[in-house]
Structure 1
Amino acid sequence: MLHKYRKTALIEAEQFDGTQAMMVKYGIFAHPEAHYFMDKPLYTLKTKEGDMEVKPYDYIATGVDGEHWAIAPDIFKKTYERCD
């Protein structure tokens, strides 16, 4: 039987702006050669599941265990609401 579930854990998140400070804070790697190779992402974030592409303006979320992941802005706005 199909059931509905709601997320109850709080996360912290901020929009990625491409600055060096944010790259250091979240361990994001830049790949300047990506401008020449369309199959390679410009930025990647190491997650528990492996490397994840991050684009400017994506939200970088931090979970309850300190893990980070990227969320596209349109998905973030549909899924989360600010509560501070």
Structure 2
Amino acid sequence: MAKYRKKPVVIEAFQYDGDLMDSNGKYYVPEWAVKAHKEGVIYFDSQDSDSPPTELYIKTLEGNHHASVGDYIIQGVQGEIYPCKPDIFEKTYVKVNENDNMLVSKEDCLARENGDNTLTPYEVVCADENVFVIAPVSINDDDSCTTDYEQLEAYSNDKSINSLEKLGFIKIED
């Protein structure tokens, strides 16, 4: 059976803490969430007719979804908004540091597109703010990995997403 890896995308999200505004009525969530709340996409309602509207709901293409305290509220790549349970969010996403979000670090996984809709995975052998060194990885029959240290490649770590893309690389998540 074929295996697939999710393409790396950057989304915006916040962790829902039970409200969207502080005690002075000022929003403290991202602007897209404020807009969605004002437009009724994100709204408060009650779970029954006898309770006050204290539960958060989000209108999505799949219907209305309830968001619990602690859930992450995500704005996807096409502007769609949806809730995500914290355990799933933490397995799927890593926070982007806006100051140096394109620096390759030792913990990153990279892949190079082969031109035939397949990817070759690479281990980041070492990395600092000036350079990153990678080696191709092959996946064995038992799903273990072998790194080919005889095919090391070094690249400038210049914080530019274009530099990775020009080299044919994408960042991937495990």
SS of residue paired to 1:78:
helix
Amino acid in structure 2 at the alignment position of 1:80: Y
| 1:31 has 2:82 as partner | no
1:30 is displaced (CA, Å) by 1.8
Deviation beyond 3 Å, 4+ runs, structure 1: 32-37
Q: Give the letter for the 1:44 counterpart.
A: Y
Using the size of structure 2 for normalisation, the TM-score is 0.40
Counterpart code for 2:45: H
Structure 1 residue 9 corresponds to structure 2 residue 23: no
Aligned match of 1:74: 87
Shift of 1:33: 4.8
Paired residue type of 2:11? I
Moved more, 71-80 or 24-33: 24-33
The answer to whether structure 1 residue 50 and structure 2 residue 63 are counterparts is: yes
Q: Which structure exhibits the higher relative contact order, with contacts defined as CA atoms closer than 8 Å and separated by 6 or more residues?
A: 1
* Unpaired runs of at least 5, structure 2: 22-26, 98-174
Count matched residues: 80
Larger Rg over CA atoms:
2
Gapped regions of structure 1 (runs ≥ 5): none
Corresponding position: 1:65 with 2:74: no
* CA-to-aligned-CA distance 1:25-69 (integer Å, 9 cap, x gap): 2432222354968xxxx3210112211111111101111111111
The TM-score with structure 1 as length reference comes to 0.74
Higher strand share: 2
Post-superposition CA distance 1:2-38 (Å, at most 9, x none): 212123111011111222435x62432222354968x
Identity of aligned residues (%): 34
